[in-house]
Amino acid sequence: MAEHHLSDIEKDRVIEMAWEDRTTFEAIQMQFGLKEQEVIDLMRTEMKPSSFRMWRERVQGRKTKHEKLRDFEKGRFKCTRQRQINNTKISKR
C-alpha cells in the first residue's frame, strides 16, 4: 500500500464509503487518493477478518462499485423509481 497518512476520521469515512453499495472506488480515489487495491488493503487491516471476507464477497464484481461497469450514463446515480421533482406540485400523503 502506498504511504497514505489518513486520520482515524478519514479511515472511518473510507470504510463507510467502501461499505456503501452505490459509492464507487473512483469516488473514494478522487476524495482520498486511494486506489481500489489500497482501499482493499485498508479494509483488510482495519476490519475483523470475518467482516472483511463478508465485504469482499459483496463487492467483488459488483457493477455499482466501478463507474465503467455501471449501466447508466456517467454522473450521479438516480434510481429509476425516483420521481422527478416539480416545484409547482407538492405530493400530499
pLDDT in tens, 24-77: 888 899 999 999 999 999 999 999 999 999 999 888 877 667 666 555 555 555
The predicted pLDDT at position 2 comes to 46
The predicted pLDDT at position 43 comes to 94
Is residue 16 over pLDDT 50? yes
Grid cell 446515480 in the structure block, residue: 77
Contact status, residue 6 vs residue 14, Cβ threshold 8 Å: yes
Contact status, residue 37 vs residue 23, Cβ threshold 8 Å: no
Is residue 3 over pLDDT 90? no
For the chain, give every domain's residue range: 8-67
The predicted pLDDT at position 90 comes to 56
